[in-house]
Amino acid sequence: MEQRPTLSAIAEKLARGLAVALALFVALAPFVILFLNSLRPSDEFLSDSAGLVPSHLTFEHYAEIFDPSGDTLRYVINSLIITSASTVLAVVFGALAAYALARLKLPFKLSMIIGVLFLVIRFYPKITVALPYFLLMRQFHLLDTHLAVIIAHVSLTVPFVVWLLLAFFEDFPRELEQSAMLDGCGPLRRFVLIVLPLTTPALAAAAVLTAFLSWNEFLMASSVAPNVATTLPVRISGFITDKGIEWGSMSAMSSVVVVPVALFALFTQRYLARGLTVGAVKG
Amino acid sequence: MERPSYGRSGWLGQFEARVGETGILLLFLVPSLVVVGFAQLYPLASSAYISFFDWTLSRSPVIGPFVGGANYARTFSDPVFAGSLLYTIAFALISTALQLVFGLAIALLTLGERLTLRLTRTLIMLPMVIAPVAVGTIWRMILSGRVGPLNRALAAIGIDGPDWLGNPNWARISLILIDAWEWTPFAVIILTAALTSLPSDVLRAASVDGAGRWKTLRYIVLPMILPVIMLVAMFRLIDGLLTLDIVFTTTAGGPGYATHTLSFWIYQQGLRYFNMSYAAAASWVLLLACVVVAAVFLVWRRRIMAWQVATRS
Amino acid sequence: MASVTLEGVGKAFGPVHAVNELNLSIRDGEFMSLLGPSGCGKTTTLNMIAGLETPTSGTIRIGDRDVTRVPAMHRDIAMVFQSYALYPHMSVARNMGFALKIQGLAEGEINTRVQRAAEMLSLTELLDRYPRQLSGGQRQRVALGRALVRDPEVFLLDEPLSNLDAVLRVQTRAELSRLFKTLGTTAVYVTHDQSEAMTMSDRIAVFSAGRLQQVGEPLEIYRAPVNKFVAGFVGSPPMTFLTAVVTDSGELAVGELRFPLPAGTTAARPGDAVTLGLRPEDVTLGADGIPATADIVEHLGSLQIIHVNAGGHRILSQVADAETIRRGDTVRLGINPRQLYLFSAGTGEALFTPGSLARTHPYTLEKTL
């Protein structure tokens, strides 16, 4: 249809553009405000006259967080330790389990049960588990340790990893594995030497997904690690109970939680989208 | 030439030979099963067990006497529980509806492979990937009654903004809006995938038939992606019912009990007041509610898909 | 090097029987082809020998060892897959040395063996390349090299030439043949291409619908097929089949046409319904014989294939290039009664084949396949 763009077509394009711009604004403005506030000097938060942009930028809040002699660096380190360990363990355990599920010829009933199990794990209130888990950790004298949080995070994310990787392993070319079998490889060597090196994109997606979930996780971490092993998300929530909210510190700390994740998300967007839509669209 | 030891070299080979292929694969399952069993399944069972007893941790370090369904009965008569339940349901429903509406709108607006559109979709994704606690923090800052940027911006154009988080009714609304802000990107991503996977010949046939864009949308596109919409609705509804993180950092359930969601209330009962049994019972009520919702949705969705297949042929 | 013996081997996938009651002895050092159309069970049989599938009945022995329940990773067998199955993330050298590494051989030994195999297959320049950088023919050689390096007891090959283009295929066929003659290792070769089987094998095992039809040397299969299926499957262009009835006067009646009945045929009696088989090279065009009209003339360079119409029946004749026959020409078909094939119309079993005379009348196969 060769026509000169009609007035309504132009208006429509304009409206469309405006709508998208509005959506972007709503989505991103809060982040901007967060960053600006994290660079705002403390006294400006209480004064009514301060504008949207800080009068001058200050890094004092960040300095406070990363001060080695201070208190808050600990939280960053805890989060790093817990997220790294959880990601590694969840991907390893999950990949092994997914491979086993893909290769074991399970009776249909059993694989249906496992499928239902995953669904259940995705959808029940984690709070149901958090309380007894707290008691369990107390029983094992693991309260307030990194290990307690790591175990919790791994148990939460392994089902996702398995779900994500199962299809990949099932679709893995059988002849390559048959060749490896004839070369004398048992399941472990086949898995490590042949299958894993050739499924790195899927493993990367699983690792990214797990890292996100662990870094942002609040409930389990706050249930079992209120002090020593506390993570950043827990610490952030702790601000509200303090007298006189330190907006600057809170903004800075929130930024530390948010920025790595945001940057990571921008770079790995494809993996994230794939991880989320696996199974959802195929239905 | 006999070489019966083929494939059995080294300790690994010997081990694999002794245990056998199936044996080793079963071993692969063990770490995952152990971790999930230990940290999820056992606590689940334990929680169910506790809910039938009377136990307040602050009073006694060991579990108390058996009380049958007393804890469950108590939830039905507890006004705070009822209030939380009502708010949680409203919260989940309204927020999910908003997410679907805005999600679909944005998905349609940003459909396409041009760089700008892809970039927009990526940026729109940000609210979803950051920690929910951080979401709460950010919005607490923005919605703060006096110093918050939102009210200041409103004041600049002459509107006297309400106390978003201090007024009970506004607080309830604010939380719902914050949740919608956070999770709309989820709907965008999934709906975009669904929209792009639509067979183009159906859409072309529609335009040949003279259907305008709105009509195509309403009568063709929407029905075709209905199963996906339902899946998104199910995910978000259930997650909405379970909301905890943002309550923590925006209103701490307040003012008073106004913005208590069920999960938050259970958290307080269990880890603040140490009413372990009561909290356990309540959490199982919540769990069963989620199971029911999931079951209803899945059955409904399957019916719709079967209907789709039937009408298509 | 070892023999492979299959006794009573069967493989069922649920209700479907891929292989039934298979008894086959492959001799030490023999090159045996498993030939048949797709779905006939030849690949399943190969997989069972390899250990990639477990038989549902019967036993498999390699040499003296009963390997029926032994998993693939413990049999000492090398296999060349149809799709080559090269490890994409390893170089050619590492692909070839992989199995040896798993076996725990010393690195020096591995290198020596890889070098030797690479030389044998002209792969030495490609040792550092990766599979994705290689052409189809090169990949095929690497797959072969991987198997060679193993020095296994038995070689298995699953249609290794089917992914190559026609020219390369013929070339490689000859090279493979020479290679295996030199090596002398027992080899089991699966193919659906009868010319491959005929040219390369010491013996051929013909399969159809999960059952072994016949085992024998190529010429035996060609001249003394045991049933109609084998006769029709082996030989190109394929045999013409005509439905016939034995007349009282000792002839074969195909409609109006009369064909001579081979002397000394005891199995076919007057009144019997039989299927008559004629190989194109046995149907000559001459001065007298059965009248027919030439329908289609296919020129193949050194010879021609003429499709003739005799009394409503289509018969194929293969003649030298020199003859000039055009469409519509009337020709006369010369049939040598000794070169007829007779099969029971009901069971397809062979009643008479030229090969049954072969022991008393030795002859050579004239045409090149």
Could you tell me which of A133, C142, C350, A177 has the C-alpha nearest to residue B270? A133
Contact B4 C65 (CB under 8 A): yes
Whether B134 contacts A258, CB under 8 Å: yes
Which residues of C are less than 8 Å from A181 in CB distance?
51-52, 71-73
Q: Range with the lowest mean pLDDT among A158-167, A174-183, A249-258?
A: A249-258
Strand order through the sheet with C203-208: C77-80, C154-158, C186-191, C31-35, C203-208, C211-216
Distance CA C220, CA C212 (A): 16
Q: Is residue A55 part of a domain?
A: no
Mean pLDDT of C110-117: 92
Domain that holds residue A224: 61-277
**Which two structure tokens, joined as six digits, stand for C292?**
């027919």
What's the pLDDT score for residue B299? 86
CB nearest to C74's CB, from B1, B7, B10: B7
What's the pLDDT score for residue A67? 77
Q: Is the pLDDT of residue B102 over 70?
A: yes
- Ordered by start, the domain boundaries in chain B are 10-50, 79-312
Mean pLDDT of A51-58: 73
A73 interfacial to chain C (CB closer than 8 Å): no
Q: Is the pLDDT of residue C80 over 90?
A: yes
Q: Is the pLDDT of residue C72 over 80?
A: yes
A194 interfacial to chain C (CB closer than 8 Å): yes
User: From the CA of C28, how many Å to the nearest CA of chain B?
Assistant: 11
DSSP state, residue C61: E
Q: Is residue A20 part of a domain?
A: no
What's the pLDDT score for residue C363? 36
What confidence category does residue B1 fall into, taking pLDDT thresholds of 50, 70 and 90?
Answer: very low
C22-34, pLDDT tens digit by residue? 999 999 999 999 9
Give the neighbours of chain B: at least 3 Cβ pairs within 8 Å.
Answer: A, C
C271-287, pLDDT tens digit by residue? 888 888 889 988 888 77
* More reliable by pLDDT, A123 or A150: A150
**Which two structure tokens, joined as six digits, stand for B290?**
């989620």
Whether C148 contacts C80, CB under 8 Å: no
What's the pLDDT score for residue C323? 74
Q: Is the pLDDT of residue C88 over 90?
A: yes
Percent of chain B clearing pLDDT 70 (strictly above): 91
What's the pLDDT score for residue A163? 83
What's the pLDDT score for residue A145? 87
> What is the phi-psi region of residue C148: left when phi exceeds 0, alpha when psi lies from -120 to 50, beta otherwise?
alpha
Q: C131: helix, coil or strand?
A: helix
Closest-CA residue of B relative to C103 is B9
Could you tell me which of B230, B197, B247, B213 has the C-alpha nearest to residue B301? B230
C257-260 and C251-254 strand pairing: antiparallel
Could you tell me which of C258, C79, C246, C83 has the C-alpha nearest to residue C161? C83
Percent of chain A clearing pLDDT 90 (strictly above): 21
C4-13 and C57-62 strand pairing: antiparallel
CATH value at residue A77 = 1.10.3720.10
Which residues of A are less than 8 Å from B109 in CB distance?
16, 19-20, 23
Q: Range with the lowest mean pLDDT among A63-77, A189-203, A207-221, C46-60?
A: A63-77
What confidence category does residue A14 fall into, taking pLDDT thresholds of 50, 70 and 90?
Answer: confident
Q: Is residue A94 part of a domain?
A: yes
Q: Let me know the angle formed at the C-alpha of B43 by B39 and B47, rounded to the nearest 5 degrees.
A: 160
What's the pLDDT score for residue B228? 87
Q: Is the pLDDT of residue B75 over 80?
A: yes
What confidence category does residue C364 fall into, taking pLDDT thresholds of 50, 70 and 90?
Answer: very low
C57-62 and C65-66 strand pairing: antiparallel
CB nearest to A20's CB, from B50, B109, B276: B109
Could you tell me which of C288, C175, C72, C99 has the C-alpha nearest to residue B9? C99
Q: Is residue A176 part of a domain?
A: yes
What's the pLDDT score for residue C367? 28
Which residues of C are less than 8 Å from B10 in CB distance?
104
Q: Is the pLDDT of residue C187 over 90?
A: yes
Distance CA C140, CA C127 (A): 14
Q: Which residues contact B311 (CB under 8 A, 6 or more apart)?
A: none
User: From the CA of A178, how many Å to the nearest CA of chain C?
Assistant: 7
Mean pLDDT of A187-199: 91
Distance CA A230, CA C315 (A): 89
Residues 5-24 of B with CB under 8 A from A: 6-7, 9, 12-13, 16-17, 21-22, 24
Considering only CA atoms, give the Rg of chain B. 26
CB atoms within 10 A of CB A177: 19
Distance CA C40, CA C197 (A): 15
What's the pLDDT score for residue A197? 92
Which residues of C are less than 8 Å from B22 in CB distance?
none
Number of domains in chain A: 1
Q: What is the DSSP string of A230-281?
A: --HHHHHHHGGGSSS--HHHHHHHHHHHHHHHHHHHHHTHHHHHHHHHTTTT
CA dihedral A61, A55, A258, B175 (to 10 degrees): 110
Q: What is the pTM of this model?
A: 0.81
How many residues does this entry show for chain C? Answer: 369
Q: What is the mean pLDDT of chain B?
A: 84
- Beta-bridged to residue C211, according to DSSP, are C208
**Amino acid of residue C346:** G
Mean pLDDT of C53-68: 90
Q: Is residue A28 part of a domain?
A: no
**The CATH number, out of the four listed (1.10.3720.10, 1.10.150.80, 3.40.50.720, 2.10.60.10), of the domain defined by the range B79-312:** 1.10.3720.10
Closest-CA residue of B relative to C104 is B9
Q: From the DSSP assignment, how many helices (H) and strands (E) are in chain A?
A: 14, 0
Q: Is the pLDDT of residue C1 over 90?
A: no
* More reliable by pLDDT, B280 or B112: B280
Side-chain-side CA neighbours of A6 within 13 Å: the count stands at 6
Q: Is the pLDDT of residue C358 over 60?
A: no
Q: Is the pLDDT of residue C114 over 50?
A: yes
Mean pLDDT of C74-100: 91
Q: Is the pLDDT of residue C103 over 50?
A: yes
What's the pLDDT score for residue C360? 35
